Structure 1
Amino acid sequence: MTFNYKRLSFPTLLLFLGLAVISCAEKKSETSQTETTTKKTSEVKSDQKNILFFGNSLTAAYGIDQEDGFTGLTQKRIDSLGMDYRVINGGLSGETTAGGLSRLDWFLEDKPDVFVLELGGNDGLRGIKVTESKSNLLKIIDKVRSKFPDTKIILAGMQIPPNMGQDYTGEFTAMYPAVATEKGVTLIPFLLENVGGIPELNLPDGIHPTEEGHQIVFETIWPYIENAIN
C-alpha cells in the first residue's frame, strides 16, 4: 500500500501540500495543553507499565478529541483487556526529528516499557535532508536504549507526497526500514496504511485523519502493540 495520491484532484493536492507547511507551525496552546495533560497523568502507581507514543500531530490527534485518536484508542483497548498499562501521548504538533531529539529527556523521566517512535513526516514535508532525519531517529533510539535497555521500541514508518521529487521521496520512504534494520527495532511499514491520501478519512486539510481514519490507524498499529505487551 502506498499513499493514494491518485484519488486527490490537482487543486486538492495543492491544498494538501500547502497545508503541510501550516502543519509544522500549529498552535503552541494546543501543544502546551497536551504536554501539561501528559505531565499531570504521570503520577500513577509505581507498578503500572507505560506505553509512550512519541510523535507529531498525528500522535497528538490533531483536530479531534485525543481519546478518539489512535493513542486514546490504544488505552481503551488495553483497559478493556484489564491490562495494567498507561498510554502516554507524547505528540507535539509540527514536531521534527530534531525537535523530538531535543525534548526526549523530559519524557524519559519515567521508564517507557514500550516506546512508539512516530516522527519524520514533517521532516519530509519540509525537505530536510534524509541523512539528517535518519541520524536523529538513530540518536533517539540510542538515547532510549541507553537509559532503558529493556524498553521495546516500535518505529512507525511514513510516506510523503512526491512534491520533493521521486528521488527524495524514495530515499525518505526507505529511511524507516533502514533505521529499523540498523537498530533491530520493530517496524510498522506505513502508519497511515489505507488512510493516507483518502479524502473521506482525513480532515479538510487533507493531512490529519478523522475519527474514522484514526480507528483504521489503530487497527494497523494494535498487532504491534499487542505483541510488545504480551
Structure 2
Amino acid sequence: MLLATSVVPGAAHAQATQGGEIRLLMLGDSITAGYGLARNEGPPARIQALLRERGRNVRVLDAGVSGDTSAGGRARIQWALADRPQAAIVALGGNDGLRGLTPAQMKANLEAILDALKARGIPTLLAGMIAPPNLGRDYGQEFFAVFETLHRERPDLVFYPFLLDGVAGDSALNQADRIHPTAQGADLIARRMLPFIETLLDRVRVSAAG
C-alpha cells in the first residue's frame, strides 16, 4: 500500500537520502535528448548524476525528442505521464523559435502541458528560451515574454529563465552546428539549473511504502 506524505521544503532531500526514489520528468527537444552526445553526457544524465552526488535519490526520465516543438510536447505529455513522474521540467520552445512559429501558439501549447502536470499535482520547473536574433527584435521580445507571462500567471512554477544560460553563443561549449551543446556545455546546463531543480524537488510529495 502506498501512502502519500506531504513534504515541507527540505524534507524531500531527507526522504530521498533514506531511499525513496523521486522520478523527475524532463520534457524537451534535442537539447534534452542530448543530440550528438553519448547517453551519459546529455542534460538528463548529468542532472541525475549531480543530484545523486548531493545525496538525492532521483531518477531523471529523459523525454527529449529531437525536432520537437511545443506542439509535439503537448501531443505526448499524456504518454510521458504514464511513467508516473513526481516532478517535471518543461524545456520546450527552441524549435518553435527556429521555425518562426507564433508565440501565441507556443503559449497555448505550453499552457496545455502545464495544465496536464498541474492536474496530476506534479511540481514543475519551466525553462525559458530565447528566439534566434535573425527573426527580429519584436518577435524575440514577444517570444521570451511567453515564458515570463506563464511564470507570472502561475506562481507555483519554478522558473529558470533561459535553458542555455552560459552556453548559447560560446563556440567552446557548442557543437559545430552552434545549436547543440557539447558534453561540457550539457554539464554546465545541468550545474546552472541544479539549485532551481533542488527547489523543485523540495516541493515533491514523496510516496512511501506503508
TM-score (norm 2): 0.83
Aligned position for 2:158: 186
Query: Residue 224 of structure 1 aligns to which amino acid in structure 2?
Result: F
Structure 2: stretches of 5+ with no match in the other structure: 1-19, 203-210
Identity of aligned residues (%): 38
2:36: which partner in 1? Answer: 63
Partner of 2:140: 169
The answer to whether residue 21 in structure 2 is matched with residue 48 in structure 1 is yes
AA in 2 matched with 1:218: A
Counterparts of 1:140-151 in structure 2, within 5 Å, are 140-146=113-119, 148-149=120-121, 151=122
Give the conservation status (yes or no) of the 8 Å contact 1:53–1:115: yes
**1:135 aligned residue:** 108
Shift of 1:66: 2.2
Q: Deviations over 1:54-86 (max 9, x none)?
A: 000000010011211221111112222333221
Tell me the TM-score normalised to structure 1 length: 0.76
1:153 to partner: Cα distance: 0.4
For 1:154 and 1:93, how far apart are their aligned partners in 2? 20
Q: Which structure has greater helix proportion? A: 1
AA aligned opposite 1:190 = F
For residue 90 of structure 1, the aligned residue among 55, 63, 68 is 63
Larger RCO: 1 or 2 (CA < 8 Å, sep 6+): 2
1:3-55 CA-to-partner distances (Å, cap 9, x unmatched) read xxxxxxxxxxxxxxxxxxxxxxxxxxxxxxxxxxxxxxxxxxxx532100000
Q: Which of structure 1's runs of 4+ aligned residues deviate more than 6 A?
A: none
Inter-partner Cα distance in structure 1 for 2:167 and 2:102: 26
> Where does structure 1 lack aligned partners over 5 or more consecutive residues?
1-46
Task: Tell me the number of residue pairs that the alignment of Structure 1 and Structure 2 aligns.
Answer: 182
The CA RMSD measured in Å over matched residues stands at 1.2
SS of corresponding position for 1:59: helix
2:177 corresponds in structure 1 to: 205
